[in-house]
Structure 1
Amino acid sequence: MEAVETCVNASVSRDYGLTAKVFRASCTEYGEGAQFDTSDYAFGAVVLVLLALNIVGSLYEFYGGIGQDTLVGKGLLCFAIRRNWRRLVAPASRDPDQQLLQCLSAYRMFFKFWVVFVHIAIPFVLLVRNIEYIEQLYSYAAAHLVYNAGLIVQGFLVISAFLLAYNVLVAERKQPISGWRNLLFAIFARWLRFTPLYALVVFFTATWMRHMGEGPFWKVVVGEETSDCRRDWMLHLLYIQNYFDIDSLCMLHSWFLAVELQVTIVGAAIFFLLKSTKARQAAIAFVVTVGLVAPGVTAFIHDLDAGTLVTPEVALRRYVDAPWFNKLYKRGHTNLLCYGLGLALAYLIINLDKSDLGAEKYKKYRVVFWLLTPVTLALVASGGLFYGDGARAPLLVRALYASGVKLLFGLIMCFNIFVSIVKVDATLTRVFEWNGWTVLRRLTYCVYLVHMSVISLLAGNSATTVHASQGEMWKTFALVGSASFVIAVALFVAVEAPCAQLAGILLQRLEKKHAD
């Protein structure tokens, strides 16, 4: 470390009259690589088993699927590639209650593209040679749509909460589904929905990923994440990693999965344990209140920065050292507000009649919807107000912003979903209900899990620094996005869809056993 610091200071002092301090240094020799161990072979065995199941399942379906009503037959059909491909490209559900929600696929995809674009900026901070370009971006308002884009994950929470509440309310039209057993059943079903593919990606990151390249940036970009995943994998499978500040780079973006499961438990408890509408609405109001207060109080107590203050130093360490990220951004209780608003929105939508769709009484909101688009962008970019030189904003201002910005975004999101569902604009309806969004939406979970691995592998294998520019960022976005979707298609057909069907079979058997 001292030798590196001496070498750096020789040029820095000569050229700029400054003194540098080196805090971290890594060295990778040519041909140096990790040794294969038991965990690598274990992951290889898992891959071989999945490959064999897909081959056998596909052949079983192709040759008629004799005995497909048996448990083994049903299990093999889950892995039939042709069948799972048809599930991927199938049109949206024709159920009237579900057709009403078709527009949500467009929102999900829009936010997902935004997330991927934001994350591709990380390699530029790690590898950039023209660091002044990154610093100059802070003076452009448009750049803060990237730096402060952490706000957009609240949109996913609104949608997730709305779907949970709406589907429960629809199911209750046929029969009551409240009770502790149904609550535990719903939580287990959600965990089972997330975990198989998630566990596979964590397992890959901890094992084979470390053997997939080399270079001067490999240890910093990939090596540390691999080591952290080998240590912290259990926290991920329990979905509690967002409450442990252990300087871990293991699939850092997966904090959202933990938050989503945690707030889902809250939402499910409201709808499965409380029977009356008044009790549920009171509980939702309580969740919204807690969600509104928690970010501001947390920011005030810990003297945190407002919003997502992504300085080059924070991005260089991929947020793990940022107090605002650990205390405010990734906690479950600080993300309750928009989830609560989504639960409340379901009560508004469930009472709509068919006559409300495209009704004249809602057409007046069309102009408001289009006006709110630039307002939403301005709201996301508003975090740039806290990047100025000089003293930090007053603590009270930062605390109020932490809560207020989520409230405004959540309300705008709920309004946009409402006007999209009631079809206030014919053009908007055609765009939002395009069937292609439904197909792409089925890939969003896979894309979310793998896109950061794609970014890490690209950055880790880089042999030199890069010249940052808008063109380079868009090119990287196209490359990462394309690769992520290609991988997502394979994972959906071979892993996610089969595991989802197996989970459905398991849950049906458990439900039938309990009924007997």
Structure 2
Amino acid sequence: MLCAAILTFACTFAAAQTNVNIDSKVLQRLASLLDSNRTLDTRELGLLNRTAANFGFDNDIVRNLTKLVRDTDVSDNAGSYAYEEGRKDPEEPPVEKSPDYASSVVLASDLLSLTSAVARVKERACREQGYKFLDGLLLNKRFALQMFDASAKSPQGLLFGSSYHLGNFDECVEISDKLDKNLPIEGQYCLAAIKWRESEEAKKVRTGRGEILRWAVCVPNACQANAVQEFVTDVLSHTVGNSTSVELTERDCYLRRPVVVKPLDVAFLAICLFFGSILLMSTLYEIYSIKWGSEKSSIIHDLIVSFSVIHNIKKIISTKQNNTLGLECVTGIKSFAMIFIVAGHACMFIASGPVMNPDAWDKLLRQPVNSLMLSNHLLVDTFLFLSAFLFSRLLLIELDKRRGKLNVIPILVFRYIRVTPAYLIVILFYMTWLPKIGEGPLWEDRILLEQERCMDSWWANILYINNYVNTDKICMFQSWYLSVDTQLFFIAPIFIYSLWRWSRVGPIFLGLSIVVTLAVPSVITYMDRLDPTILFYAKEFTDFAGNYYFKEAYIKTHMKMVTYFMGILTGYILHRIQSENYSLSRTLKVFAWITSIVLGSVTIFSISVFYQDWYEYNVVEAAAYISLHKLAWGIANGWLIVACATGCGGWLATLLKWKFLVPISRLTFCAYLVNGIVELYYVGQLRHPMHVTIFTITANAISHMVLTFLLACILCITFESPIHGIEKILLRTLARPVLSDNAVRDQSQSSRNTSQSKLES
């Protein structure tokens, strides 16, 4: 009791010295403690702590007094009092209390530092709810203990590199205490970014997770992000001093709210329902045609059936390839490339997200056996190569048949029409319903950020210029490829026509272009001292758009042109071989296979060198590598396709022509579009850090691949395949024969080594 009197006197004295007006109720309460001659309970102890914090008492003094009171004066029934001085409204339901062990958890915390931090909160509503939270802790109320329990505690594995301490997200957002109608409280989950001071030498280290620690706090719903940031900063100042800084935005806080539907959301649903209705009616029409209709085909019939679900599923799962140019292996290359691209994206998002042991990822980077995963960017270049190769090969056929009189404008226009609808639907999904389909610790930080970027940059995507415009706000991190491919597709006819028109000047023109496209990346890398290629350090790819190399070099068309031009050259070489029935000698085949295997292997496995601890950056090496490894990869891919097309591919050609890969190849475009949804959803909803091993990464990568291709199948059936079917019908009607990815047999020709083949319409 003496301690309480001392503390009460001290509060009164401090108020007098600092000219603070004390509320009369507070003075009456303090006076009643002296007159009552009874022991203090935990509730009253909390009130005294709060008063001391408001008056700016020295923390050490209050802490010592508190300890003394706990040792001598605390009553046995502490924690049994309800809110507001233990009075209960008989009409209200009883207060829900926590398990018996919960109070020991609270006693282990530093209530004084929490009280001091709450007292310094400037927002009145947040401060009042904070006081109610502290009172709830002292009174063993369940909502308060849940809020405390859901927050991150003392870090585990901090020295092991663990930087994500996520608390318990679901426990926090489900908190709701509405017994007090004047001050209801709901749980709000905030994930603060705590930055430690690092030396300049430490900042140069690219492994690990750097100086940022993500720390979860569960706070009342009235608290804005700036108030939570000040609160966390104040709490840390009592524990670790002022050696840290805290960053927290509204996007880092999540409060469970009713779904808000905006006009754009309704528009997206209307589009989906419209297409869904067309699919339904087209499917019913096809069922009717199969059972009772005529088998005769017409343009109207084909247009209607192109939207049928049955027709599109048959088209996807069909393993037939009407191709007499020997290009069946292209489907296998596309399938394997996309499988490994999706797996690479999965690995990158897993590694850059919440993990318990980030050092494990850094060890995997240094192992040469994982070089294929680290060379994921080469597989993307493979798609550029194939796009150029097919365009070159098939356009040269048409130029031969039409003797150079070919209008490429319809081809370019229909290519845009074929690609854009499915692409636009995915962008609209990012802008509307993607943020509404889930929740999690990083949901607002990742998904809402992606939505904001798409709202700002969607127009750059559909104009296919987003790899140069608004690169710091790129919508869909993987969409840069479509811009690069489209830009190069529009200029490719110039080079392809020159190859056909001028048999001597054309190859020289293309060769000089390849030399220029080799020099440009090297010069840029040398002048800007860039990495030799994109290096997937986890802490640098938490946000792709924030990575300097990604947005300033990797996604630029002028850094990718050499691969595309190598595809055009390969298409020209194969065209000459097949049109002239040229037979490759055994010596040439052996030399080409050895060269291809060596170049391909060196290109894939050499990247491991740049991840080793002993490697020292050399700008000349980087400048040489950036271009030469793309050239080598183009040569390796070029010979593989030529070998398969001319019948000397061996068992590798047999594997690439495997019929099981044909349906997968038809889904590659849609898989590339929807893969970002799978990866963002995974990171956004992740509740706890994952332990990284080669097994867990492989298992997750496989699951991501399955989900990606399932979503791709849905997108393909509903949007891409119908539009592609309509395009083919219109092209067949308006411009015969037309360009396509496949060639069907001309009945007047039976040889594979000929250019006089009719292309599939």
**TM-score w.r.t. length of structure 2:** 0.61
Residues 370-385 of structure 1: matches in 2 within 5 Å?
371-372=597-598, 376-385=600-609
* Structure 1 partner of 2:439: 214
* Structure 2 partner of 1:232: 457
> How far off is 1:384 after superposition?
3.4
Q: 1:256 aligns with which of 453, 471, 481?
A: 481
More deviation in 456-465 or 345-354? 345-354
Q: 1:39 aligns with which of 249, 258, 264?
A: 264
1:282 lines up with 2:282 in the alignment: no
* Structure 2 partner of 1:175: 402
> How far off is 1:105 after superposition?
1.2
Q: 2:377 aligns with which of 147, 150, 153?
A: 150
Q: 1:407 aligns with which of 621, 631, 635?
A: 631
* Structure 2 partner of 1:330: 555
Separation of aligned partners in 1, 2:284 and 2:709: 26
* Structure 2 partner of 1:128: 355
Alpha-carbon distance change, 321 to 352 in structure 1, aligned in 2, over 3 angstroms: same
* Structure 1 partner of 2:660: 436
SS in 1 for 2:254: coil
* Structure 2 partner of 1:351: 576
Instruction: State the AA in 2 paired with 1:147.
Output: L
Residues 384-463 of structure 1: matches in 2 within 5 Å?
384-388=608-612, 393-463=617-687
> How far off is 1:469 after superposition?
1.6
Instruction: State the AA in 2 paired with 1:129.
Output: M
* Structure 1 partner of 2:316: 88
Alpha-carbon distance change, 366 to 148 in structure 1, aligned in 2, over 3 angstroms: closer
1:367-423 residue CA offsets vs partner (Å, 9 max, x unmatched): 627844xx5344234233334558952322221221121111111221222222223
Alpha-carbon distance change, 177 to 193 in structure 1, aligned in 2, over 3 angstroms: farther
1:109 lines up with 2:358 in the alignment: no
Is residue 28–residue 215 contact of structure 1 (8 Å, CA) maintained in 2? no
Is residue 342–residue 414 contact of structure 1 (8 Å, CA) maintained in 2? yes
Instruction: State the AA in 2 paired with 1:298.
Output: I
Instruction: State the AA in 2 paired with 1:326.
Output: K
Separation of aligned partners in 2, 1:404 and 1:73: 52
More deviation in 380-389 or 158-167? 380-389
Separation of aligned partners in 2, 1:138 and 1:21: 31
Residues 464-483 of structure 1: matches in 2 within 5 Å?
464-483=688-707
Separation of aligned partners in 2, 1:158 and 1:394: 29
Separation of aligned partners in 2, 1:484 and 1:364: 39
Separation of aligned partners in 2, 1:4 and 1:381: 46
Alpha-carbon distance change, 249 to 238 in structure 1, aligned in 2, over 3 angstroms: closer
* Structure 1 partner of 2:76: none
Alpha-carbon distance change, 184 to 404 in structure 1, aligned in 2, over 3 angstroms: same
Gaps of 5+ in 2: 1-228, 737-761
1:302-342 residue CA offsets vs partner (Å, 9 max, x unmatched): 22122012222321122x22232222211112111011111
Alpha-carbon distance change, 31 to 61 in structure 1, aligned in 2, over 3 angstroms: same
* Structure 1 partner of 2:495: 270
Instruction: State the AA in 2 paired with 1:261.
Output: T
Alpha-carbon distance change, 484 to 143 in structure 1, aligned in 2, over 3 angstroms: same
> How far off is 1:190 after superposition?
1.7
Which is richer in strand? 2
* Structure 2 partner of 1:165: 392
Separation of aligned partners in 2, 1:482 and 1:276: 48
Q: 1:195 aligns with which of 420, 431, 436?
A: 420
Instruction: State the AA in 2 paired with 1:307.
Output: T
* Structure 1 partner of 2:147: none
Is residue 667–residue 712 contact of structure 2 (8 Å, CA) maintained in 1? yes
Separation of aligned partners in 1, 2:526 and 2:703: 41
More deviation in 440-449 or 428-437? 428-437
Is residue 91–residue 439 contact of structure 1 (8 Å, CA) maintained in 2? yes
* Structure 1 partner of 2:152: none
Which is richer in helix? 1
Percent identical: 22
* Structure 1 partner of 2:409: 184
SS in 2 for 1:127: coil
* Structure 1 partner of 2:303: 75
> How far off is 1:505 after superposition?
3.7
Instruction: State the AA in 1 paired with 2:321.
Output: S
More deviation in 64-73 or 26-35? 64-73
1:138 lines up with 2:365 in the alignment: yes
SS in 1 for 2:501: coil
Instruction: State the AA in 2 paired with 1:449.
Output: L
Separation of aligned partners in 1, 2:233 and 2:681: 28
Gaps of 5+ in 1: none
Separation of aligned partners in 2, 1:340 and 1:125: 34
> How far off is 1:366 after superposition?
8.0
Alpha-carbon distance change, 310 to 431 in structure 1, aligned in 2, over 3 angstroms: closer
SS in 2 for 1:242: coil
Is residue 566–residue 635 contact of structure 2 (8 Å, CA) maintained in 1? yes
Is residue 439–residue 684 contact of structure 2 (8 Å, CA) maintained in 1? yes
Separation of aligned partners in 2, 1:20 and 1:387: 30
Is residue 442–residue 684 contact of structure 2 (8 Å, CA) maintained in 1? yes
Is residue 252–residue 445 contact of structure 2 (8 Å, CA) maintained in 1? no
> How far off is 1:90 after superposition?
2.8
Alpha-carbon distance change, 388 to 7 in structure 1, aligned in 2, over 3 angstroms: farther
Alpha-carbon distance change, 431 to 390 in structure 1, aligned in 2, over 3 angstroms: closer
Separation of aligned partners in 2, 1:69 and 1:357: 42
Alpha-carbon distance change, 55 to 397 in structure 1, aligned in 2, over 3 angstroms: same
* Structure 1 partner of 2:536: 310
Instruction: State the AA in 2 paired with 1:208.
Output: W
Alpha-carbon distance change, 367 to 405 in structure 1, aligned in 2, over 3 angstroms: closer
Is residue 593–residue 639 contact of structure 2 (8 Å, CA) maintained in 1? no
Q: 2:276 aligns with which of 51, 61, 64?
A: 51
Separation of aligned partners in 1, 2:650 and 2:356: 48
Is residue 514–residue 562 contact of structure 2 (8 Å, CA) maintained in 1? yes
Separation of aligned partners in 2, 1:249 and 1:21: 28
Alpha-carbon distance change, 160 to 52 in structure 1, aligned in 2, over 3 angstroms: same
SS in 2 for 1:393: coil
> How far off is 1:246 after superposition?
3.9
Separation of aligned partners in 1, 2:703 and 2:608: 28
SS in 1 for 2:253: coil
* Structure 2 partner of 1:341: 566
Residues 499-510 of structure 1: matches in 2 within 5 Å?
499-507=723-731
Separation of aligned partners in 2, 1:283 and 1:220: 49
Superposition CA RMSD, Å:
2.9
Is residue 331–residue 662 contact of structure 2 (8 Å, CA) maintained in 1? yes
1:489 lines up with 2:713 in the alignment: yes
Instruction: State the AA in 1 paired with 2:572.
Output: Y
Is residue 145–residue 381 contact of structure 1 (8 Å, CA) maintained in 2? yes
Separation of aligned partners in 1, 2:238 and 2:389: 59
Alpha-carbon distance change, 456 to 426 in structure 1, aligned in 2, over 3 angstroms: same
Instruction: State the AA in 2 paired with 1:210.
Output: P
Alpha-carbon distance change, 506 to 363 in structure 1, aligned in 2, over 3 angstroms: closer
> How far off is 1:152 after superposition?
2.4
> How far off is 1:300 after superposition?
2.1
Separation of aligned partners in 2, 1:194 and 1:54: 19
Is residue 33–residue 211 contact of structure 1 (8 Å, CA) maintained in 2? no
Separation of aligned partners in 2, 1:165 and 1:41: 43
> How far off is 1:216 after superposition?
0.9
Separation of aligned partners in 2, 1:289 and 1:422: 28
Separation of aligned partners in 1, 2:337 and 2:677: 19
SS in 2 for 1:63: helix
